Amino acid sequence: MTSPSAEGVLLAEDAGWQGGGVTADGPDLDDAAPPLVEEAVLADLRRRLHAYRPVEGTGTPGWDRGTEHGYLAELLRSWADDYDWRVHEQRIRSLPWARTSRLRAVHQRAADPGATAVVLLHGWPDSVLRYQRVLPLLTDVHVVVPALPGYPFAAPLPDRDLSSADMAEVIAEAMAELGYDRYVVSGGDIGRGVATALAENHADRVAALHVTDVPLAAAFSGDPAAQTDDARDLRERITAWRSAEGAYMHEQSTKPHTLAVALGDSPAGLAAWIVEKLRSWSDCGGDVERVFPREELLTWVTAYWVTGAIGTSFAPYMKQSPPVERIDVPTVVSQFPHEIIRSPRSVAERLFDLRVFEDGAAGGHFAAWERPEEFVGFVRRAVALS
């Protein structure tokens, strides 16, 4: 690994965060951080929240059919009247941001220039904020947390319809610009797809891999008659999950433009769409604010609103990458108990040069946020393989 550059390549033409309608308020062109959101954007958000019109549901109470309407109404009231984006914006902008030709990333450098570099890749419906709690635990390594193209805080790109494999190429390019020729990669959800594409296509640069989920397509590859019982069980669980819970993925894959209008024009719709997933996929025991305190919950949602990124965040669903065949990079797989679908070891072994396969003690899909110390422990095991 070569020593990192001081800040990456800073670009003066960066005029916005990600989506349309958001520009810098007195932009500092030497600042790699996401620009300030215009006050008019926040005023418009409050106006829309105050104009929320409750809608009739099916009559089924609770969360079984989606976001509970009573909870949503109170959350929207709090968002409109109590929440202050500026407080969280300052915290976000104070992170050690860097810019390269096509990427904005949090770039936390270790004191030792020769330390290992670790790339942390977020998923949907989150952002770099997934990794806030692990940054203080990884000060002895160089950490790069890219804002994935099309997601909150990302650098604006002419082509926003990037697959996970396309994003991997952007990140490989950015890591070279930052001065790293070899690094450890960790990812989950969409970030796992980017991580596996990096490892598959740039094995000379990826020293080790850590993932918190296994590609579901692996369960449907190969001769079904030759699969183990646990692999066949995984196929059945995936099919059942797609039927009961996978409608969001189908809609984001097939009709993303329709959904983007509904969510991009209505903060109530956006909150309902995102919060339901944060609750369903985390180990929260039914209380989403047990894992995501309200201020943080609203910050994750507001990040999508002020950047206008919800529509472009669907790109990896719409433009899917070729399935992974085999990754010959030393790999750590750590699946947490409340992960959406957990794969058996036999499936992971077919895909990866598997060195560690363990479950977390608690937590779910957002393990870096839910269980930061335990998550970092698995990252360090990958670092030890590099």
List residues bridging with 209 in a β-sheet. 185, 331
> In whole angstroms, how far apart are CA 366 and each of 8, 16, 22, 127, 369?
28, 27, 28, 11, 6
> If we measure between CA atoms, which residue out of 241, 219, 198 comes closest to residue 346?
219
The catalytic residue among 189, 210, 213, 283 is 189
**Which residues, other chains included, contact 128 with Cβ-Cβ below 8 Å and sequence gap of 6+?**
95, 105, 106, 122, 145, 146, 147, 152, 153
189 a catalytic residue = yes
Using CB atoms within 10 Å of the CB of residue 131, give its burial: 0 to 12 exposed, 13 to 18 middle, 19+ buried.
Answer: buried
> If we measure between CA atoms, which residue out of 224, 203, 217 comes closest to residue 324?
217
Calpha distance 366→372 (Å, rounded): 10
Residue type, 278: L
Name the phi and psi angles at 357, rounded to 5: -140, 100
CB burial of 264-297 (b: ≥16 within 10 Å; e: otherwise) equals bebbbbbbbbbbbbbbbbbbbeeebbebbeeebb
> If we measure between CA atoms, which residue out of 66, 137, 62 comes closest to residue 280?
66
Calpha distance 259→311 (Å, rounded): 8
CB burial of 229-249 (b: ≥16 within 10 Å; e: otherwise) equals eebeebeeebeeeeeeebebe
Calpha distance 185→365 (Å, rounded): 18
Mapping DSSP onto H, E and C, the string for 199-217 reads HHHCCCCEEEEEECCCCHH
Q: Which are the catalytic amino acids?
A: 189, 317, 365
